[in-house]
Chain A
């Protein structure tokens, strides 16, 4: 879309626990005319800070699962041999191992295997304080296909974009895998929240490789920068060498933990101190 009126910002961290969601929540408080989407469908947390009023709940069907009808089964053993995920043992399909590929279903000479759609999560549409749209999802425990769920809520959310909308704010999942790619689709700018630990740095580099591969623009926030100033410096060096924006350095501060424990964003907890840092 050439004439789209909004910018999609996706917040990522690679490593968990760097403060990504805390930052996203603070951005959400500061931005107007926005749609906010929590794409960490594995462990959604943003709603805990933004307290949306839920106005819709929808079921998510991620895929199908095979099930053997013992009345029709002649125990020929073909399905067990064909399954590449070792999901079939002694005429039983283990629903956790079954990837829903349907090979056994189609190959069974007795048509003894059913293949029903399975509910594998739910997602919610809500309103934030300022009436802006908010989406989050819950993938059921042990389910795969999180990338597909991410794409589905994003699609649902884009249905509510109006000419007024200026921002789409996406809280991305950790890692570099499939749900991360699904979260990134359509992104104009990526905010990377990292921390100055060797692990944080290692994961940041992997994420930057990924973003470069797919040519996304990004900037970096270093949270808890004073925890290890040497590594912070190394991160700053990376930004300088690659001409990447250094969006901010946040100190290691008790306010972060205390505000979290009260379920508040940092800008609400101590507005005088933090508001300026975030918008600056």
Chain B
């Protein structure tokens, strides 16, 4: 089973929820796909045993063959190439590695070379023996999606995998959560939290994925949020009240469920609740 944890807004406690959940399940796998800012390792303290480069392919032009006809520039939808007549210049950051230039070059002057854009790290955490993966995007690299794909290539469908998704609602979030069985959306009791949660829900509706909500820093006086849930029949799976102790524990990189065992139970219940929901859905289907 794959459960992804996402949030429209950043900093709502997504990583706390994802790591605590992984720690509350036996033999879980935790996968950090927030490759621009991977933080799961700070709470799970894994020992890493491998680090593999993730690469994207970039075109390389053989100037012995190139006639500067400009075909490659014409077919590149992303304007990553410029024909300077003495050189075909490539803007690395804009290239999606689609291969169109290579395919259409009439002189067969283009080959592709791999460029490392980041790393996939693999390790194990002592906390409940969690198997750990994350992706770390190199500084200055712009495109996260290919690295997210490399991390997700490590998924073993026989294991319960918790995916920590990047914040937001764009392509890297979709890349991370797609193929999950269920998505947990983490929000907080503020207008920002509510606004961004609605955006995230829209994405999940488009890709047709079952979801539930966890409210962090829960404050029942923020009635707009309660109203929204009532009106739309959205299920709140867990409410975590604001607690300075939890915030402090997080700040030090200590997984909150270690110091507050009652907290662990909440996550066991959360997991069971999701499992039940999915089983029910399977019966319905």
- Which residues of A pack against B, CB within 8 Å? 14-18, 21, 42-43, 45, 48, 63-64, 82, 84-85, 96, 99-103, 106-107, 139, 141-144, 146-147, 173-178, 181, 195-200, 202-203, 206, 209-210, 213-214, 227-228, 231, 252, 257, 260-261, 263
Contacts and interface: CB of A to CB of B under 8 A. Distances in A.
B167 A174 contact: yes
Contacts of B37: 14-15, 174-176, 199, 202-203, 206
A142 B39 CA distance: 23
Nearest to A16: B10
B143 A43 contact: no
Contact of B42 (A18, A199, A214): A199
Interface residues of B, number: 64
A175 B99 contact: no
Given A143-B170, A176-B137, A202-B39, A261 B78 contact: no
Given A42-B168, A42-B169, A43-B168, A202 B42 contact: yes
Given A18-B11, A227-B251, 12 more contacts: A15-B37, A16-B11, A17-B10, A21-B192, A42-B169, A141-B174, A175-B167, A181-B93, A197-B251, A203-B37, A213-B139, A261-B222
12 contacts: A16-B11, A42-B168, A45-B9, A45-B192, A84-B97, A101-B78, A141-B203, A174-B36, A177-B143, A195-B251, A199-B37, A257-B242
B247 interface: yes
Q: Which of B10, B104, B142, B169 has the most CB of A within 10 A?
A: B10
B143 A257 contact: no
A198 B252 contact: yes
Contacts of A252: 244, 247
A82 B103 contact: yes
A88 to B, nearest CB: 13
Q: Which of A82, A103, A177, A178 has the most CB of B within 10 A?
A: A177
A146 B170 contact: yes
B86 interface: no
B111 to A, nearest CB: 15
Nearest to A141: B203
A260 B191 contact: yes
A231 B251 CA distance: 8
Interface of B: 8-12, 15, 36-37, 39, 42, 75, 77-78, 93, 96-100, 103-104, 137, 139-145, 166-174, 178, 188-192, 195-196, 199-200, 202-203, 206-207, 217, 219, 221-222, 242, 244, 247-248, 250-253
Q: Which applies to chain B's interface (DSSP): helix, strand, loop or mixed?
A: loop
B270 to A, nearest CB: 21
B94 to A, nearest CB: 9
A245 B147 CA distance: 34
A18 B172 CA distance: 21
B253 A198 contact: yes
B202 A141 contact: yes
Given A175-B37, A227-B247, A106 B75 contact: yes
Contacts of B167: 16, 42-43, 174-175
Contacts of B244: 227, 252
Nearest to A205: B139
B133 to A, nearest CB: 17
A181 B92 CA distance: 14
Contacts of B169: 42-43, 139, 141-142
B98 A101 contact: yes
Contacts of A107: 103-104
A216 to B, nearest CB: 13
B206 A103 contact: no
B11 A15 contact: yes
Contacts of A181: 93, 142
